[in-house]
């Protein structure tokens, strides 16, 4: 996993920009209004209709606004095919890529395989932070700098959306993400190294980080209440099972 995360180095300059712009993003966007996003993302007459934003995101341009990015990112949770624990497509190709991810130097053919897989995953899950990063990496290595800048813009704004959702320093100001993996990816892309995770009732994940400055937090809170809510809506039997387990423990 650490070797795969090493691919994020190519966009750390954007992570730094995200960190510097957190205050501005938080002031401009604030915490997401998930009720409004749930409503607007499925309303065909809304400018925030998810398929409309999806088509806009997938284009090679930088015309999306911060508000559109916020509705797009969190609108992911309210789509029929959303599953916070969904598996990435084409697991066979992913297995083939693992040795390539572990390399320090990659051939042109290696990079083309990485790009093909990144494009496939992003089409299925456009807010996959890891494969967005891999896509940018390949564009940069292949000297397609215009495309790299465009997709850096998209990744950067997704990071800003998460940064604007809170500070992460306590549960009341927890960051909000749409996939559990984004907890790690967001922190790593922000220049930190996530090290471990623990669940904090009733609906928080706490991710510890390796820190060299004891004045900084030992970790950050993430609010996964809506993520879990949407998961159990689609998997009601698991909710009953979980409730039954709690009852048995009482």
Please confirm whether the linkage preceding 90 is cis (ω < 30° from 0).
no
Q: Which pLDDT score, from 0 to 100, does residue 7 have?
A: 39
Per-residue model confidence (pLDDT) at position 25 = 59
d(CA 230, CA 83): 8
Question: Per-residue pLDDT averaged across 139-145, rounded?
Answer: 97
SS3 call for 221: strand
Going through 116-187 in order, the beta strands assigned E by DSSP cover: 175-176
Q: Is the pLDDT of residue 50 over 50?
A: yes
**Residue 246 lies inside a defined structural domain of this protein:** no
202 in any annotated domain: no
Please, where are the H alpha helices in 44-90? 50-58, 66-75
Buried b (16+ CB within 10 A) or exposed e, 60-71: eeeebebebbbb
Greater confidence (94 vs 8) lies with 94
Domain count, the chain: 1
Q: Is residue 214 part of a domain?
A: no
Tell me the residue range of the domain where 44 lies.
Answer: 2-167
The residue among 188, 183, 189 whose CA lies nearest residue 210 is 188
The answer to pTM > 0.75 is yes
In a domain, 208, yes or no: no
38 located within any domain: yes
Give pLDDT tens digits for 156-178.
999 999 999 999 999 999 999 99
Which residues contact residue 166 at a Cβ distance below 8 angstroms, ignoring those fewer than 6 apart? Answer: 31, 173, 174, 175, 176, 221, 223
C-alpha–C-alpha distance, residues 77 and 34, integer Å:
9
Separation between Cα atoms, residue 126 and residue 89, nearest integer Å = 12
Instruction: Report if residue 181 sits inside a domain.
Output: no
Mean pLDDT calculated for residue range 90-117: 94
Q: Is 160 domain-assigned?
A: yes
Closest CA to 128 of 171, 176, 186: 186
- Does residue 69 carry a pLDDT above 80? yes
How does residue 89 score in pLDDT terms, banded at 50, 70 and 90?
Answer: confident
């Amino acid at each position: 996993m650490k070797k795969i995360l090493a691919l994020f180095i190519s966009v750390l300059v954007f992570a730094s920009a995200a960190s510097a712009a957190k205050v501005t993003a938080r002031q401009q966007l604030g915490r997401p209004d998930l009720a409004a996003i749930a409503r607007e993302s499925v309303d065909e007459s809304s400018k925030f209709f998810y398929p409309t934003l999806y088509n806009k995101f997938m284009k090679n341009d930088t015309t999306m606004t911060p508000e559109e990015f916020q509705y797009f990112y969190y609108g992911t949770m309210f789509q029929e095919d959303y599953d916070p624990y969904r598996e990435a497509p084409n697991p066979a190709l992913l297995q083939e890529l693992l040795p390539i991810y572990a390399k320090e130097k990659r051939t042109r053919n290696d990079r083309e395989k990485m790009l093909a897989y990144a494009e496939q995953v992003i089409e299925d899950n456009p807010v996959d932070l890891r494969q967005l990063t891999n896509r940018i990496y390949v564009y940069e290595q292949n000297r397609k700098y215009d495309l790299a800048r465009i997709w850096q813009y998209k990744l950067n704004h997704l990071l800003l959306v998460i940064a604007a959702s809170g500070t992460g320093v306590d549960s009341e100001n927890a960051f909000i993400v749409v996939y559990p993996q984004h907890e790690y990816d967001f922190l790593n892309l922000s220049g930190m190294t996530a090290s471990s995770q623990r669940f904090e009732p009733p609906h928080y994940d706490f991710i510890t980080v390796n820190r060299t400055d004891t004045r900084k937090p030992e970790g950050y809170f993430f609010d996964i209440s809506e993520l879990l809510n949407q998961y159990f809506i689609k998997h009601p039997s698991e909710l009953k099972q979980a409730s039954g387990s709690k009852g048995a423990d009482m």
